[in-house]
Every structure is written in structure tokens, then in C-alpha cells.
Amino acid sequence: MNSMDLSRHDFQLEELIDRIKGHDHRLIALQIPEGLKMQALEMMDEIEDETSAKVILAADPCYGACDLVHDKMKMMGVELVAHMGHSQMNIDSGMPTQFIDVTYDGDPAIDPVLPILAQHRAIAQARLTEGDISELSEEEAQERFLDAVGRVAPLKGTKLGLVASIQHLHLVFDYKERFEAAGYVVEVPVGGARLTFPGQVLGCNYSGDDDEIGHYLFLGSGDFHPIGLALHTGKPLAMLDPYTGDASEMGSERIERILRQRFGLIMAIQESQNFAILIGEKPGQMRRSLALKLKRTLAKHGKKGYLLALEHVGPELIDFYPVDAFVNTACPRIAIDDSVKYAKPLVTPFELEVALGEKKWETGYQFDEIP
């Protein structure tokens, strides 16, 4: 099967066209995630053929519903933004917006993933007997920090947590029944205000996790969401791809490599004196209060923090500043996914606090999230 069979996606254009006609819109904008942009021109043609509206494609990169372009579109006279491939967050978009989930007609068999789930359930069962971690030495605590499985608080259960990306959320409760029939106790976690649907995960929010869940299954493709989920929970994670039917796991070796990289960055900034604190200008990524708190924390330790506000974050935009390191409060994934691109250490707020001694290794790695 083609891993991106776009003909099996539902872009819900009929509903969008009905809204455009009903409001007699004359200028609308499409905002589409990177993986679906190859269909953009075809969709623009269909909308313009079926309505009186002209269509502008917001062609800048779009990685989430926090990545809004409404101020720019307002200046162009756009009357409606159709934001595809993401669900609405707890963010005021500031103008008429239609969020379109873009679902995929997939039905992968569960048999390929069952052996992986059996191994992961055994790991969770072993963790139920885990002892107290409060008396760890500094060396033991750092080893725990680097351990991809079992570095968080002891479990209270071994349920299978079933989650999905937005394109596959419509499958969750059907697959819950399938895995229950295969002998698993399944929980579909419900997250915080940033998450619209049960079972939903975002690249910056995994708030539905609880200690009754011992391991996870992710319905989706790619490793963007699985890496974040594994880093946040420290729990075994299996993946079932609705596009291909392939089963795999987010192996502990890969997560341990990421954790060792993060550990190295923390050690690298311990003697740093001057930091640039990055503030995202996008509405859903702007954490000004956190940035100001970090600046105060640095000052308490006799270090300097400079506040830099950016809409987009990239090496070419910041590497030339004469500071020792960068602290990211914009999209949390920038520090995890892109840190190797920068000439200087790029760390998360938690990593800075560990380097300053404000937080302890014993708690394990804390993935940066936007609530």
C-alpha cells in the first residue's frame, strides 16, 4: 500500500464549500500541514470551481493548530481560514476559522502488533514491583535519568493506553474493542484543554497519561508523536501504521540515545554564563511568563538571560548572537528535533533548571509541554 494514499483522505471539502457559499465569501485561505500540501492546488481548483471565492494558500510551514496565520490573512482581506489536518486548540484564532480534521480511511490488522504488546505488558508488570527511588545516589539518579523505560514513578496498573494522531482518531474506539477481545485492558486517555478529543496526542502535549497505564499503542505514522510520548511517559510504546499496516515500536535504544544527547547538553551548559531565552511569537506557542521566570532564575544564579522573540526559530536567525547557549520556550519540539543544527547548546526549560540545580535528576526526564 502507498504510505500516503491521498485519495483515501477525507478533506471535507463539501462542508467547506457549503460554508463559503452560505456566507458568500469572496476570499478565503487554506492552511495545510506539510505532508498534505501536495494536494493543495487541486483543492484550490475545486473550491474556486464550485464557489465565487478566490483561494490563498498560506504556504509557510504548518505543524499544528498553534501555527496560526490569522493576523497576516486579515491584512490580506481574507474572510475565512480553513485550517486542515489539526483540531482546534484552546486558542482564540481571532477570525472565522474552520478546523478540518482530515481523516484517513485505514483499517490495519492488529495481529502484527500483538507480539510487541505482549513484550511491553511484561515490562509494565515487572515495573509494578519497582522499589522506592527516594534514596538514590547522584550517580544512580543520573543513570535513571538516562534509562528509557522505568525512569518515572512506579506504576499502579498495566493497562494499554490507546492513542492516535488526529487523522486516525475515528478508529480509536473500534480498535479499543479489538484489543480488548485480544485480552488487553484498554484505556483511551483524556487530556487537558489543549486536546480536543479522547485518545488524542499532540507533539507538545501528552497530558492524558496516568499511572494505571503501563504501556501504549499509537495509531499513526512517523515518529514525531511517538518520540514525544515515550519521552514524556517513559513507558513502552508500540506503533501501528494505518497507512501501511506495519507494526513497530519506539525502541528503548533510540530513546536512550536522545536522552544521552539531552544529558550531554545539560552538562555542557553548567558553566555557561550568558543565555538567550527564545520566545515564540505564534499565538499557541507564546510562553512569555515562562521566559521571564527563567530570566529571573538565571539572575538568581548570577547568570545573564536575554529575551529574544521570534516567529520562526532557526540556526541562521540566532547562532550569531554572542551568548553561550539558547533556552527554548517556543514550540517544544524545536529543542528535541533540531538541536543538532545549532552551533551552541539549545536546551529546554527543564534542562536549564537541572543544570542550575533547581530540579533533580531523580524525577527522570521531563518533556517540555504547552498545557
Same domain as 135, residue 92: no
- Amino acid identity, residue 53? A
Does 15 share its domain with 68?
Answer: yes
Supply the pLDDT for residue 1.
36
Does 260 reside within a domain?
no
Do 18 and 58 fall into the same domain?
Answer: yes
Instruction: Please indicate, yes or no, whether residues 115 and 248 belong to a single structural domain of this protein.
Output: yes
pLDDT at 91 over 70: no
82 inside domain? yes
Which of 254, 288, 317 is the last residue before a domain boundary?
A: 254
Both 124 and 73 in a single domain? no
In a domain, 135, yes or no: yes
78 lies in the same domain as 132: no
CATH number for position 307:
3.40.50.11860
Instruction: Give the mean pLDDT of the chain.
Output: 84
Distances (CA, A) of 165 to 52, 73, 277: 34, 27, 30
- Residue 263, domain member (yes or no): no
**Same domain, yes or no: 95 and 145:** no
Q: Is the pLDDT of residue 157 over 70?
A: yes
- Domain check: are 151 and 244 in the same one? yes
**In terms of domains, do 116 and 236 share one?**
yes
Do residues 84 and 137 both lie within one domain?
no
Taking only the tens place, the pLDDT of each residue in 43-65 is: 899 999 999 999 999 888 777 76
- CATH assignment at residue 237: 3.40.50.11850
Among candidates 44, 79, 77, 81, which has minimal Cα distance to 62? Answer: 81
Most confident segment among 59-68, 153-162, 264-273? 264-273
**Per-residue confidence at 300, pLDDT binned at 50, 70, 90?**
very high
Q: 156 φ, ψ to 5°?
A: -115, -5
Same domain? 141 vs 240: yes
Among 254, 278, 310, the domain-final residue is 254
For the stretch 5-53, pLDDT in tens is 556 777 788 899 999 999 999 999 998 887 778 888 988 999 999 999 9
Among 225, 254, 283, residue at a domain's last position? 254
| 204-239 residues labelled b (16+ CB within 10 A) or e (exposed) | bbbbbbeeebbbbbbbbbeebbbbbbbbbbbbbbbb
Residues 244 and 115 in one domain: yes
Q: Which domain holds residue 45?
A: 6-104
Residue 105 to residue 111: CA distance in whole angstroms: 19
| Residue 261 maps to a domain | no
Contact 238, 104 (CB under 8 A): no
Number of domains, the chain: 3
